[in-house]
A and B are shown apart, each in its own frame.
Chain A
Amino acid sequence: MAGPGIRYCHFARELAPRFAVSLLIPNDPAGLPLPGVDIIRARSDRHRQLSELSSRFDVVVAQGGLDVRTMTLLAGRTVRTIYDLYVPFSEVLTFQAERQRAGGSGQLVYRAHAQRQRIVLATGSAFTCANERQRDLLLGALNAARRIRLEDYDGDRTLSGLVAVVPFGLPAEAPRATRRVLKGVLPGIAETDKVLLWGGNIWDWLDPLTPIRAVAKIAAMRDDVKLLFLGLGHPNPAAEKMEMTGRAVSLAERLGVSGTHVFFNFGWIPYEERANYLLEADLGVSAHFDNLETLYAHRTRLLDYFWAGLPTLTTRGDALGDLVAREQLGRALEYEDVDGWVEAILSLLDEGGLYRRLRANVQRVRARFAWPVVVEPLAELVDRPGRPVGCTAGAVARTAEYALLRARISLGDKRASRRA
Chain B
Amino acid sequence: MTSVLLVPNDFVGSRMAGPGIRYHQFASALARRFDVTLLIRNDPVDVQLPAVRIVQAPGSSYARVKELSRESDVVIAQGGLGVRTMRYLARAGVRTIYDMYVPFSETLAYEAAQGRAASYGTLSSRAQLVRQELALATGDAFLCANDRQRRLLLGALSVLGRLGMNRYRQDPTLRNLVTVVPYGLPAIPGTSAGAVLKGVVPGIRTEDRVLLWGGGLWDWLDPLTVIRAIERIASVRDDVKLYFLGVRHPNAAARAMGMNRRAVELAERLGLTGKYVFFNLGWIPYDERASYLLEADLGVSAHFDSIETRFAHRTRLLDYFWAGLPTVTSRGDVLAELVEREHLGRTVAPEDAEGFAAAVLTLLDDETEYRAIRANLEAIRPRLAWNSLVEPLAELVDGGTSPPPPKNMLKLPAAYAALRLRIALQDRRRPSERDRESGRSL
Contacts and interface: CB of A to CB of B under 8 A. Distances in A.
B153 interface: yes
A143 B173 contact: no
Interface string B331-375: 000000000000000000000000000000000000000000000
A93 B168 CA distance: 8
Given A118-B159, A144-B156, A150-B111, A139 B307 contact: yes
B147 to A, nearest CB: 8
A117 B159 contact: yes
Nearest to A205: B172
A143 B161 CA distance: 14
Contacts of A36: none
Interface stretch (A178-186, A187-195, A289-297): A289-297
B130 to A, nearest CB: 9
10 contacts: A93-B165, A121-B159, A133-B151, A136-B155, A136-B311, A139-B105, A154-B112, A290-B173, A291-B172, A295-B151
Interface string B79-96: 000000000000000000
Contacts of A55: none
A96 interface: yes
Shortest Cβ-Cβ A-B pairs, 6 listed? A140-B155, A136-B151, A140-B152, A144-B156, A291-B172, A141-B155
A106 to B, nearest CB: 6
B412 to A, nearest CB: 12
Contacts of A110: 164-165
Contacts of B108: 148, 150, 153
A140 B121 CA distance: 20
A6 interface: no
Nearest to A100: B165
A151 to B, nearest CB: 7
Interface string A135-166: 01111111111101111011001110000000
B148 A136 contact: yes
B160 interface: yes
B129 A146 contact: yes
A118 B162 CA distance: 13
Nearest to B148: A136
Q: Chain A binding site: helix, strand, loop or mixed by DSSP? A: helix
A177 B308 CA distance: 48
Most B Cβ at <10 Å: residue of A90, A151, A153, A158: A153
Interface string B103-136: 0110011011000001001100110010001001
A151 B152 contact: no
A158 to B, nearest CB: 6
Nearest to B116: A150
Most chain B C-beta atoms within 10 Å of own C-beta, residue among A100, A140, A143: A140
A291 B173 contact: yes
B122 A150 contact: yes
A149 B308 CA distance: 14
Interface string B141-178: 00000001001111111111101110011001110000
Nearest to B155: A140
A94 interface: yes
A148 to B, nearest CB: 7
A206 interface: no
Given A100-B165, A139-B152, 6 more contacts: A93-B168, A141-B159, A143-B156, A144-B136, A291-B172, A292-B172
Interface in A92-149: 93-94, 96-97, 100-101, 106-107, 110, 114, 117-118, 121, 133, 136-146, 148-149
A270 to B, nearest CB: 35
B100 to A, nearest CB: 10
A159 B309 CA distance: 12
A143 B104 contact: yes
A89 interface: yes
A158 B306 CA distance: 4
B304 interface: yes
Interface of A: 89-90, 93-94, 96-97, 100-101, 106-107, 110, 114, 117-118, 121, 133, 136-146, 148-151, 153-154, 157-159, 289-292, 295-296
- In this complex, the member of A144, A158, A291 whose beta carbon has the largest number of chain B beta carbons within 10 angstroms is A144
A418 B98 CA distance: 47
B112 A94 contact: no
Contacts of A290: 172-173
Contacts of A154: 112
Contacts of B112: 150, 153-154
Given A110-B165, A137-B151, A150-B125, A158 B156 contact: no
B305 interface: yes
Contacts of A153: 108-109, 112, 307
Nearest to A289: B172
Given A154-B112, A158-B306, A137 B168 contact: no
A114 B158 contact: yes
Contacts of A133: 151
Contacts of A150: 108, 111-112, 118, 121-122, 125
Contacts of A138: 155
A96 B104 CA distance: 30
A198 to B, nearest CB: 22
B246 to A, nearest CB: 26
Nearest to A115: B161
Contacts of A295: 151, 154, 173
A89 B163 contact: yes
A206 B127 CA distance: 42
A151 B307 CA distance: 14
B158 A296 contact: no
Contacts of B125: 149-150
Tell which of B104, B105, B158 has the most Cβ of chain A within 10 Å: B158
Contacts of A140: 104, 151-159
Nearest to A137: B155
A157 B305 contact: yes
Interface centre among B152, B159, B163, B311 (most CB of A within 10 A): B159
Nearest to B159: A144
A153 B307 CA distance: 8
B151 A296 contact: yes
Contact of A114 (B104, B126, B161, B311): B161
